Structure 1
């Protein structure tokens, strides 16, 4: 058993095309103009933080640190 104590998995950001989505729980939301912008922002952000992109709904992606 290791000494792996602390937060190891968490959501870093939400990227969405839904302009009506409002922040909840302190996770930042980034708004995209269209699907191409959505994919581009998610890719760039995930590379910056070494995170993984997951789709949670049509037009909404999250970046998670595993």
Structure 2
């Protein structure tokens, strides 16, 4: 049996309506104009990278790879 070595779970993107949120790490932040734009950007990004969308707070979503 081989060992699964590497990063298996990680955050790919943060999508938020909070224009004051700043990047403090290596994860890109994408700003949305409203709730509809937030949902649309998260859906498109998750499809492109085969990731899952999770709500962190109202107005902030993350796309993660499981």
TM-score by length of 1: 0.96
User: TM-score if structure 2 supplies the norm length?
Assistant: 0.96
Q: Which structure 2 residue ranges, 5 or more long, are not aligned?
A: none
Shift of 1:20: 0.0
Please give the alpha-carbon distance, in whole angstroms, between the structure 2 residues aligned to 1:2 and 1:17. Answer: 43
- Note the alpha carbon deviations across 1:17-65, whole angstroms, 9 max, x for none: 0000000111000000000000000000000000000000000000000
* Distance across 2 between alignment mates of 1:16 and 1:64: 15
The gaps in structure 1 that reach 5 residues or longer are none
**RMSD over equivalenced CA pairs, Å:** 0.9
